Structure 1
């Protein structure tokens, strides 16, 4: 009876993962591209879990199915990394280099050393390598979840998006830890995954019922309409409020939020930025943030570099560094030193940020 209950809840966890991935896939064509990373993250995670569940309760499971389940693990880490990066970073994501090499390598490895004929090699080397790769991606993904940990450390309130991303990260990390540190616990991991997936579903519907569109931002649609001169002039006047009110200091600022704040149709605002300024919304906002950072670098400040980035509206130190250098051609420290050399000083009490 206990085994039957474990099988039921473990299998249900994997099944819920499939359902949730389908849900995001259906909505992703109308929403953010990053949702596709979440779709494949949940899908690969579910494939790995369902393999473990059925193998534990049915040892005669097809070796081909076992190989597919184990191979799916190699993409869990990359999809976790890509999803968190897409939510926390403002740069274009080179997702191909994180997916195709592993995908091709897995296919070649599977054909060269099929599980049915090389079970010892898989158990001794391949599976361990996959778990190490999964763990590495969990480690390098920390920088994209670090703003949430920073808020927790400072006892700041978390947004719905913070809770969502933290749940995704910790859930995947916990499942990886359970798989890689304990033998013969596939059914336990399956049961735990059920709790994790169920929790995500609850979060999803709670946020959705509260009209939270944080992780479902709609794509800009221009509806093939050109902006007339009057509309352009009105937008030019209104976007000045973005700088005056320093809306860009909000690290979670969205196109929708900005449009509502300055009372502009969000589609028209996006169209104006893209067609008239040749900038995306993220680039437009980041330019304000960099100007704020340059101002702080020129005046008295005791900020660390990380604190400066947060002060200017960035989600992480790495994003701040990358964006600053992309816009100015210098790192923040190089910019500050150049300013000091040009003017001889910043302020008698100022300090170089390190």
Structure 2
């Protein structure tokens, strides 16, 4: 059946793409991991739909434990966490991340308790217990119609903190598509619950829509990151990064690596964003700045930060950041407003952590000690 085949392809693609995002040093970051989890969630929902179409629950009733869990509670949580992990630390630090999983945990526990009776037959819920379950079920329904819409709308509110207009446009589109699917699911489920409609056809359409989200994310996600100038370079990089070849699990040869390196130039979107962070926000003045912090601000992995700096500048991360710090000190030396500062104070103000690292970096980048530079420039 073509319909089932499409669903199975989407399930497979969602799992594979999620694994690529989590395992690839190029894609993996604190924000993108939640995009991977979102794809896994959609894949599980589609897989349950396939089980229902194929009547898999009859010979394998314990699959009902997976099917009855309301995975839809995870969708707004993961897309919200994807959004806030792409914005600045101050906004993100105010969030209590565990709170967004409480409705899912509540739903899962409630359904598992019932399935231990209805499916596994481990025990029988008493009449008083059934009454309590019904009350808890109403709370579950209330959470569904309040929490899910609230978090999706709140995600739109948080997007305003994103600085990059191109990134913002892509995320708004993704959020709109996912929100439309979730709202349509809620309306359909409520109609079936209260109006006793047959919602099987509507759910089939929604399942196809979920496959579109997975396909669209796979396609747009690759090109959004602008990892290479052409499709072949992107494909080859992904194989190189995962050290996989579809034919025989061989590592890709050096010519592919060279092609990938040549595809990263100074107009790389993330390198340009890093330059702006240094020149306009002066992130180098943070003495605790490291690759992980920069990667989090850029929404990429720490490994990719090192790659783009090394390929474009020919230097490592520490020297790249120290160069900005040295330039800041040089500017202070030439600025009369800092005449009352001693040289070490200027170095510490610019982000250096000690006199030794300051003097060593200054000598490396200028060929002079700070004192020599000060004496020759005045």
TM class by smaller structure: 0.5 to 0.7
Asked whether the equivalents of residues 16 and 194 of structure 1 are also in contact (C-alpha less than 8 Å), the reply is no
**Aligned residue number for residue 203 of structure 2:** 186
Q: What does residue 26 of structure 1 align with?
A: 23
Cα distance between partner residues in 1 of 2:12 and 2:98: 30
Find the partner of 1:65 among 63, 66, 75: 63
- Rounded to whole Å, the distance in 2 between the matches of 1:230 and 1:177 is 50
Please say if residues 71 and 104 of structure 2, whose CA atoms lie closer than 8 Å, have aligned partners that are also in contact.
no
Aligned 8 A contact 2:65 2:112 in 1 = no
What are structure 2's unaligned runs of at least 5 residues? 120-129, 189-198, 230-267, 274-297, 307-314, 334-349, 355-378
Residue 139 of structure 1 corresponds to 153
For residues 171 and 332 of structure 2, the distance between their equivalents in structure 1, rounded to whole angstroms, comes to: 30
Q: Is the contact made by 1:84 and 1:145 (CA closer than 8 Å) also made in structure 2? A: yes
| Aligned counterpart for 2:326 among listed residues 221, 233, 242 | 233
Matches within 5 A, 1:1-354: 4-27=1-24, 31-58=28-55, 60=57, 62-69=60-67, 70-91=69-90, 92-93=92-93, 94=95, 96-99=97-100, 101-102=102-103, 104-114=105-115, 117=118, 125=138, 128-129=141-142, 131-132=144-145, 133-145=147-159, 159-182=165-188, 183-184=199-200, 185-207=202-224, 208-210=227-229, 212-213=269-270, 216-219=299-302, 232-237=325-330, 273=351, 275=353
Whole-Å separation in 2 of the counterparts to 1:101 and 1:212: 37
SS in 2 for 1:141: helix
Q: Is the 8 A contact 2:88 2:161 kept in 1?
A: no
The 1:197–1:226 alpha-carbon spacing in structure 2 relative to 1, beyond 3 Å, is: closer
Q: Is the 8 A contact 1:13 1:190 kept in 2?
A: no
The TM-score normalised by the length of structure 2 is 0.50
CA displacement at 1:114 relative to structure 2? 2.2
CA–CA separation in structure 1 for the residues paired with 2:180 and 2:217: 14
Structure with max Cα Rg? 2
1:54-111 Cα offsets, whole Å, 9 max, x none, are: 3134263545434424332222211111111222344244454235534543453244
Provide structure 1 residue ranges, at least 5 long, that are not aligned to the other structure. 152-157, 241-271, 277-354
CA contact (8 A) 1:24 1:35 kept: yes
Distance 2:187 2:205 in 1: 13
RMSD: 4.3
CA distance in 1, matches of 2:62, 2:331: 60
Contact 2:34–2:82, Cα closer than 8 Å, also in 1: yes
Aligned-partner Cα distance in 1 for 2:301–2:35: 16
The 2-side partners of 1:146 and 1:228 are apart by: 28
Residues 125-134 or 214-223, more deviating: 214-223
Distance across 1 between alignment mates of 2:110 and 2:184: 25
- The secondary structure found in structure 2 opposite 1:32 is coil
Distance of aligned partners of 1:191 and 1:51 in 2 relative to their CA distance in 1, 3 Å threshold: same
- TM-score if structure 1 supplies the norm length? 0.53
The 1:225/1:145 distance shift into structure 2, 3 A limit, reads closer
Contact 2:57 2:64 in 1 (8 A): no
Deviation string for 1:304-323 (max 9, x for gaps)? xxxxxxxxxxxxxxxxxxxx
